[in-house]
Structure 1
Amino acid sequence: MEGIKRFEELIVWRESREFSKEIHSIFKHKNKLEERALSNQIIRSSSSIMDNIAEGFERGGNKEFLQYLWISKASAGESRSQLYRALDFEMIQESEFLKLKSKAELLSVGIYRLIVQIKKSEFKGQKFS
């Protein structure tokens, strides 16, 4: 963490960006009234993953960064839950669901590993350097 100067260098941020783009490309075309609300919700929650990683990183301190990483991990769980609803409502195929659910789970694991790494580190954050 100490050598990372920008949030764009974080693997979990780059992976969450790809996940968000994939979610958006699948759900942006859902036009039925009953599909629009869930589509907007899953697009927002998947975007929140990367946004919270970036915001927490930019705060410059590990305590705040950890708080935002937990929020980001929660957004990955929220997106995963919404994927189940999209499958149940036949908005996506099972193959799409399985691929996206797996990506959301991997994001959660990656974020958690980053949390553990930061907790073990003696580095307090960029604003304390």
Structure 2
Amino acid sequence: MAKIEKFEDLQCWQKARELTRLVYSLEGPITTNWSIKDQFQRASLSIMNNIAEGFNRFSNREKIRFLEIAQSSANEVKSMIYVLKDLNYLIDDQITELFMLVEETKAKILGLIRYLKNKG
């Protein structure tokens, strides 16, 4: 395993960045509902920012706390995907890709949380 020296090296942050990039690039009916679009973007941005913010914390306990917040934001993104689906704001391919990316991101975050908890 390569040594992690900066938050950009974290796979969970890389996945969160990819998810955020996708969320910000969405077009179509979502662009007409500013409040939903804004909340969706802020929730995705919160994932990667909390991972980054927690990276330089001194204790694993603090790092885990920020990762748990990132995990919660990922769940918010997932919930919002359902809203967007129900409102027909996105096409099926977009929904599938978003669900896949949010689940991959959550899995990477959870993996890091487990690693830090076992590391003690």
TM-score > 0.5, shorter chain as reference = yes
Match for 1:15: what amino acid?
A: K
**Which residue matches 2:3?**
3
**Which residue matches 1:80?**
78
> Residue deviations 1:51-105, cap 9 Å, x none?
0000011223211000000010111110010011011111101221111011101
Q: Pick the structure with greater CA Rg.
A: 1
Instruction: Provide the C-alpha distance between the structure 2 equivalents of 1:13 and 1:22, rounded to a whole number of angstroms.
Output: 14
Q: State the identity %.
A: 32
TM-score for both structures, normalised by structure 2: 0.91
Measured after TM superposition, the shift of residue 106 of structure 1 is 1.2
**Which residue matches 1:125?**
none
Q: Contact 2:67–2:109 (CA<8 Å) still a contact in 1? A: yes
Name structure 2 gaps, 5 residues minimum: none
Q: Contact 1:8–1:14 (CA<8 Å) still a contact in 2? A: yes
Matches within 5 A, 1:112-127: 112-122=110-120
Instruction: Provide the C-alpha distance between the structure 2 equivalents of 1:67 and 1:3, rounded to a whole number of angstroms.
Output: 22
Kindly report the root-mean-square deviation, in angstroms, between the aligned alpha carbons of the 2 structures: 2.0
Count of residues in Structure 1 that have an aligned counterpart in Structure 2: 120
Measured after TM superposition, the shift of residue 112 of structure 1 is 0.6
TM-score for both structures, normalised by structure 1: 0.85
Instruction: Provide the C-alpha distance between the structure 2 equivalents of 1:10 and 1:47, rounded to a whole number of angstroms.
Output: 16
Q: 1:11 to 1:100 in 2, by over 3 A?
A: same
Q: Contact 2:74–2:102 (CA<8 Å) still a contact in 1? A: yes
SS at match of 1:98: helix
Instruction: Provide the C-alpha distance between the structure 1 equivalents of 2:31 and 2:47, rounded to a whole number of angstroms.
Output: 24
